[in-house]
Amino acid sequence: MRNQKLVLFDFDGVIVDGMNEYWNSSLLACEKFLNSNDISIERNLYEEVSDTFKEIRPWVKYGWEMVIIVYEIIKKTNPLNQKNKNDFLFNYHQNCQSILLKNSWVAEDLQKFLNNSRKYQINKDFEKWVQLHKPFYEVLNLIKNAKNKQIKTAIITTKGKIFATRILEKLNIIPELIFGYESGTKVEIASQLSKEHEIIGFLEDRKDTLLEIKKSKITNKIPCFLADWGYLKDTDRINLPNDITLLKLKNIDNLLAI
């Protein structure tokens, strides 16, 4: 029924900080599945996330891009580093496509490699894999408070649904709806959900995604909140449109107060 209230949540960077998991899983995807002679992987790489990777992560839209970034960082010749990262970011999406073309890779295959990497870790040591994610407890409490107020919650993530579900179960968070990258774009999912629900908020840390929501005639009335604690570019907080609210963790209850 259309009057059922619903809040939409992004997952990575909003509900959990998965930076360690992204780095480790992308490294493992390169090591076990990429089969490239251009890279050299040492075990100490898994111990600490590359600063270059951390700084590029806010540009990532799809998981397979992280495999490319890690590949570029650890390749033997002309690796991606602090000195040349700005050149890479200047044409980020074009550079990702160029790397795919140069290596005769397909984005869907790299996504499968990343998924297989996660499945491998889950089967080997589920607890260790889960602990690579650090939850934002303020957001977990918000989801619980929404349930207490009879407000439904939905998770929309570019992660595979199975992986988000396993983490949420471990955190004892059971939203009514979970959508992974397999379900389509976030605008498509929000459009479909808006036909049957009154969406009272969408909490996301990717500014471009919220701008896409606001451009759509179907979803432009959805209240949008940019997660200040997420993976934001330096420019994301500047000149934010009036219809997108920058939300800080300490004020997160404001999302349910609208």
Examine the pLDDT at 239 and tell me if it is beyond 90.
Answer: no
- Residue 176 sits at φ, ψ, to 5 deg, of -65, -30
User: What are the structural domain ranges in the chain?
Assistant: 5-17+133-257, 19-130
- The token pair at 52 is 């270059």
Cα separation, 80 vs 78, whole angstroms:
7
Mean pLDDT over all residues of the chain?
A: 94
pLDDT of residue 248: 96
Q: Where are the beta strands (DSSP E) in 26-169?
A: 134-135, 152-156
> Which phi and psi angles does 221 have, rounded to 5°?
-90, -5
Q: Which residue has the higher pLDDT, 130 or 2?
A: 130
Task: Label each residue of 223-257 as H, E or C.
Answer: CEEEECCCCCCCCCCCCCCCCEEEECHHHHHHHHH
Give the pLDDT confidence score for residue 258 in this predicted structure.
Answer: 61
Do 177 and 194 form a contact (C-beta atoms < 8 A)? no
pLDDT at residue 20 tops 90: yes
Q: What is the pTM of this model?
A: 0.91
pLDDT band at 27 (very low <50, low <70, confident <90, very high): very high
Dist. CA 116–CA 200, nearest whole Å: 36
Evaluate whether the domain defined by 5-17+133-257 bears CATH number 3.40.630.40: no
Going through the chain in order, the beta strands assigned E by DSSP cover 5-9, 16-17, 134-135, 152-156, 177-179, 198-204, 224-227, 244-247
Whole-number percent of the chain with pLDDT over 70:
99
Instruction: Write the pLDDT tens digit of every residue in 47-85.
Output: 999 999 999 999 999 999 999 999 999 999 999 999 999
pLDDT digits (tens, 9 = 90+) for 153-177: 999 999 999 999 999 999 999 999 9
Q: What pLDDT is stored for residue 14 in this prediction? A: 97
Q: Give the angle 125-131-136 at the CA atoms, nearest 5°.
A: 155
Instruction: Give pLDDT tens digits for 31-40.
Output: 999 988 899 8
pLDDT digits (tens, 9 = 90+) for 176-234: 999 999 999 999 999 999 999 999 999 999 999 999 999 999 999 999 999 999 999 98
Q: How far apart are CA 214 and CA 233, in angstroms?
A: 19
* Single-letter amino acid, residue 28: L
Q: How far apart are CA 232 and CA 98, in angstroms?
A: 24
Q: Are 189 and 6 in contact (CB under 8 A)?
A: no
